[in-house]
Amino acid sequence: MDTTIDKTTFADLGLRPEILSVLSELGYEEPTPIQAEAIPPLIEGRDLLGNAATGTGKTAAFALPILERLGTDASGGAPRALVLVPTRELAMQVSEAIHRYGRGLGTRVLPIYGGQPIIRQLKALERGVDVVVATPGRARDHVGRGTLVLDCVRVVVLDEADEMLDMGFAEDIGTILGETPDGRQTVLFSATMPPRIAAIARTHLTDPVRVQIPGERAPAGEAPRVRRSAHVVQRTHRPAALGRVLDAESPTAAIVFCRTRIEVESLVDVLNGRGYRAKGPARRHGPGAARSGDGPPSQWLRRAPRGHRRRGARPRRGAAHPRHQLRRPIGPRCICPSHRGRRACRARGRGDHAGRAL
């Protein structure tokens, strides 16, 4: 009896040969569930609302259809696709991925984010780009200056939309979408689906295809890949409690999230005073200063193998992934720690996520 199960391939999804060739060179054998379900309707031009955990392949799920729809046709200097992401690290990551997937098509991709000299971005926009990957704040700045013209945009992607809302970008997103054509294709991906995400979908998406990939459950008898725990600790005892966790777990790398930059700097000093090798973001003089001294997260992980300190850091692909993520204090929003904790187990790794609250 033939028990062979047919598996979906990227060729089955309707991608052009130039993209398939690149995917083969990169070693991509078959699409992930979110890619298999999202790519066909996106190629058709449908709006889409996607709900899947971090690390499931969402970037390729929207990047490949963008490249398929744009093809090799140029539209002068105006961008034809806009991807909005919450952080500069993700902007760089998504931009690199789209550039890599589209190298056979000659696609021009530009990341736009704060902390980078704006003159460099202005020159690139003047030369012309096909895809812009931007944080909402910097994108709105360019729109206000008239240097980012969105009249030719055919596709808009809101990646990690829940994170952008948590960071206060709702107004920026609304302003940016208001500058795009009414007939655009709008794609929204989010790891969680709070009511605010549903409200955005109702306002800006037209008859969207809904794709939901359930979270992976641990097989019976096996421990989950992310172990979560919470500890109630008085404010004065938090540094000592954090030290006990680090001593007990002995992680190769760890990320600790704090509520404010002042708390970050204070905790870095305390941890270093207690013998941990901790590092935080470079001190800046004002919110617009470029962060030139902090280096990429992959370097931070190598410098600080025991106690790694940064607000919202994301390790780049190929770096030693942090196995422990800690947050002090948890604060009123309980979704964020869970969302961030999933990044400890990207690429089928394992990790721990702990929270300390009053």
326: enclosing H helix or E strand: strand 324-328
Which among 195, 270, 192, 208 has a CA at the least distance from the CA of 235?
270
Overall average pLDDT of the 229-238 stretch: 85
Same fold, 10-212 and 226-279+296-357: yes
Overall average pLDDT of the 91-115 stretch: 94
Assigned architecture for domain 10-212? 3-Layer(aba) Sandwich (3.40)
Question: Do you find a cis peptide bond into 329, omega within 30 degrees of 0?
Answer: yes
Residue 208 has pLDDT above 80, yes or no: yes
**46: which 2 tokens?**
């449908």
Helix axes 58-70, 33-43, angle to 10 degrees: 20
**Domain residue spans of the chain:** 10-212, 226-279+296-357
Residue 306 is predicted with a pLDDT of 37
Residue 173 has pLDDT above 50, yes or no: yes
Which among 89, 86, 131, 136 has a CA at the least distance from the CA of 106?
131
The pLDDT tens digits for 176-187 are: 999 999 999 999
Number of C-beta neighbours around residue 244 at 10 A: 13
Residue 6 is predicted with a pLDDT of 65
Residue 61 has pLDDT above 90, yes or no: yes
Residue 328 is predicted with a pLDDT of 54
Which among 346, 300, 296, 304 has a CA at the least distance from the CA of 323?
346
Which among 141, 105, 111 has a CA at the least distance from the CA of 125?
111
**293: which 2 tokens?**
């001294």
Residue 286 is predicted with a pLDDT of 45
Q: Which of 54-58, 77-81, 220-224 has the lowest mean pLDDT?
A: 220-224
Residue 334 is predicted with a pLDDT of 46
Residue 354 has pLDDT above 90, yes or no: no
Residue 40 is predicted with a pLDDT of 96
The larger pLDDT score, comparing residue 197 to residue 248, is at 197
Which among 115, 182, 183, 172 has a CA at the least distance from the CA of 148?
172
Residue 234 has pLDDT above 70, yes or no: yes
Q: Calculate the alpha carbon distances from 258 to 8, 65, 89, 167, 310 in Å.
A: 43, 37, 18, 14, 8
What is the rounded CA–CA span in Å between residue 14 and residue 40? 7
Find the Cα–Cα–Cα–Cα dihedral 321, 323, 328, 331, rounded to 10°.
Answer: 80
The pLDDT tens digits for 37-54 are: 999 999 999 999 999 887
Overall average pLDDT of the 281-289 stretch: 51
Which among 161, 163, 129, 172 has a CA at the least distance from the CA of 148?
129
Residue 259 is predicted with a pLDDT of 80
Residue 260 is predicted with a pLDDT of 83
The pLDDT tens digits for 321-339 are: 555 556 555 554 444 444 4
The third-level CATH classification (topology) of the domain covering 226-279+296-357 is Rossmann fold (3.40.50)
Query: pLDDT band for position 252 (50/70/90)?
Result: confident
Residue 228 has pLDDT above 80, yes or no: no
- Highest mean pLDDT among 48-62, 98-112, 228-242, 343-357 belongs to 98-112
- The mean of the pLDDT values for the chain is 80
Overall average pLDDT of the 59-70 stretch: 96
Overall average pLDDT of the 186-205 stretch: 93
% pLDDT > 90, the chain: 50
Overall average pLDDT of the 141-148 stretch: 95
Task: Give the predicted TM-score (pTM) of the model.
Answer: 0.71
Residue 219 is predicted with a pLDDT of 67
